[in-house]
Amino acid sequence: MSEPQRIVTDAAPSEVGELDLYQKRERIYTRKVEGFFQRLRLYTGWPLLFGYFCLPWLDWGSRQAVWFDLPGRQFHILALTFWPQDFPLLAWLLIIAAFALFTVTVFAGRVWCGYTCPQTVWTSIFMWAEQVTEGTRNQRIRLDQSPWTSRKFLRKSAKHALWLGIAAFTGVTFVGYFSPIRELVVALPTLRTSAGEASWSLFFTLATYINAGWLREQVCMYMCPYARFQSVMFDHDTLVVSYDRKRGEPRGSRKHGQTPPSLGLGDCVDCQLCVQVCPTGIDIRDGLQYQCIGCALCVDACDSVMDRMGYARGLVRYTTENALLGKASRLLRPRLVGYSVAVLLMLGLFTTVLLSRVTVGIEAIRERGQLYREVSDDSIENVYTLKLRNMAEVPRRVRLTVEGMPGMVLAGDTELTLAPAEVLALPVSVRAPEDSASGSQEIVFGIAALDGSGERSSAKSRFLAPTED
């Protein structure tokens, strides 16, 4: 077998090391730490978790508050109901979200990854389950290195049982956004669900269990594309978690009460806590690395050590490259301003379109079995099927019209009531005087709401008649 390919990193002579591209993954044992930024992560993560798990259980009128009804082709979000015709709004919303992420990245690096990314939030929950069942970092290391015993088996079993329980709760909740969750949770234990509901629940359960329990940092480092392109958005004024090398070097241990200058050392006591708490296993003292997710665990760990030693906080902190070099940092710079303006403009336009969205719609389909029919009153008749949509969740009284030729008449009742969220297939016939109809002519069907909202929609079709000789 050929020797593994090795790369020599570009570093100072004392920091030169070898990177084995085929090296076996080293398991990361994280240490629990508390501090300001970890409390902040709780305030950002828990509301999202609470919303994710609770939204499907809330009702809005007679239906689930958030329900993506794929068979019915209706997508309910609180008071709004969207239809397949509204998919351009979804694309627009995704573009806005992407630009918002770019804006945040330019300003403060990967704070999305560190505080609100689902992979980070669920991994933190799984780490908590690990700490509850297997103990502290040192206890987990000893447990994994020890031979298998009944105690080890019970602890490992309890951990994986907790993982699977959290993963199952996550998977079933996700499917509950697409299938009524109250019916789903009753049907799943009794195996009375459809094959689709059961398979998707199992899929998302396993995906959560594997990603948050086993892969963890591998998802952030190798599977997430954001980790690869985020550095393109950084500049010298981007806030990132950084180690103050000028203040911290040279590193070295010392007793409490000893001052760094008297020992010829910097403030870094080389305790390795910043490495032990990192969920991706990096050493922030080596400089900015793409694996860093900006979670600030190392900041809280270092600050706790600085407090115990009586040193000033901030050896590891959120700062900019310019600030570390002693230069002035700029908050407002062209790229950040450009992204911010683009997001605000798109949000304004999106809100305007959403508020002015028409909730009555019409489609016209010609009868294919017959081109036209000559009737006794010297007129030509065409038959159509009109698909009328009421995209609101209240009944709507509407009026139908047709335009395109002089004397054209829409046979039947032109005013009718559409039930909430109803799609009505309505056969209609249209007659036009024989002397005004010739060949193929464009006509326009219209639908207008009679509730004072002024909403109206139209659909084009063709009216066929004999061609004049």
Statement to judge: residues 263 and 293 lie in one domain: yes
CA 156, 115, 77: angle at the middle one, nearest 5? Answer: 100
Do 451 and 358 touch, CB atoms closer than 8 A? Answer: no
Statement to judge: residues 170 and 305 lie in one domain: no
The verdict on residue 26 lying in a domain is no
Do 319 and 242 touch, CB atoms closer than 8 A? Answer: yes
Statement to judge: residues 73 and 212 lie in one domain: yes
Tallying the residues shown for the chain, one arrives at 469
Do 181 and 173 touch, CB atoms closer than 8 A? Answer: yes
Statement to judge: residues 224 and 249 lie in one domain: no
Q: How far is CA 408 from CA 227, 254, 386, 454, in A?
A: 63, 96, 17, 24
Name the residue range of residue 206's domain: 31-82+117-232
pLDDT confidence of residue 146? 95
Statement to judge: residues 302 and 320 lie in one domain: yes
Q: How far is CA 210 from CA 216, 279, 429, in A?
A: 8, 16, 59
Statement to judge: residues 72 and 167 lie in one domain: yes
Could you tell me which of 381, 386, 407 has the C-alpha nearest to residue 465? Answer: 381
Statement to judge: residues 155 and 246 lie in one domain: no
Domain boundary residue, one of 207, 232, 257? 232
176/67 Cα distance (integer angstroms): 8
329/239 Cα distance (integer angstroms): 10
The verdict on residue 24 lying in a domain is no
Backbone angles phi, psi at 217, to 5 degrees: -65, -20
**Left (φ > 0), alpha (ψ -120 to 50) or beta: where does 60 sit?**
beta
Tokens 């559409």 found at: 418
Total domains, the chain: 3
Number of helices followed by number of strands (H, E) in the chain: 16, 18
429/418 Cα distance (integer angstroms): 20
Statement to judge: residues 308 and 449 lie in one domain: no
**Dihedral (C-alpha) 212, 217, 221, 222: value to the nearest 10 degrees?**
-50
pLDDT confidence of residue 384? 93
Helices 36-54 and 297-309: crossing angle, nearest 10°?
A: 150
Cα Rg, the chain, nearest whole Å:
32
The verdict on residue 409 lying in a domain is yes
Could you tell me which of 387, 392, 404 has the C-alpha nearest to residue 444? Answer: 404
pLDDT along the chain (469 residues), means of 10: 40 45 77 94 88 94 90 88 87 93 92 92 95 95 95 97 97 96 92 91 97 93 84 89 95 89 93 95 92 94 95 96 91 92 95 89 88 84 92 90 89 88 90 85 92 89 83
Tell me the β-bridge partners of 316.
243
Statement to judge: residues 36 and 153 lie in one domain: yes
Do 84 and 76 touch, CB atoms closer than 8 A? Answer: no
Statement to judge: residues 214 and 279 lie in one domain: no
Statement to judge: residues 303 and 241 lie in one domain: yes
Do 267 and 248 touch, CB atoms closer than 8 A? Answer: yes
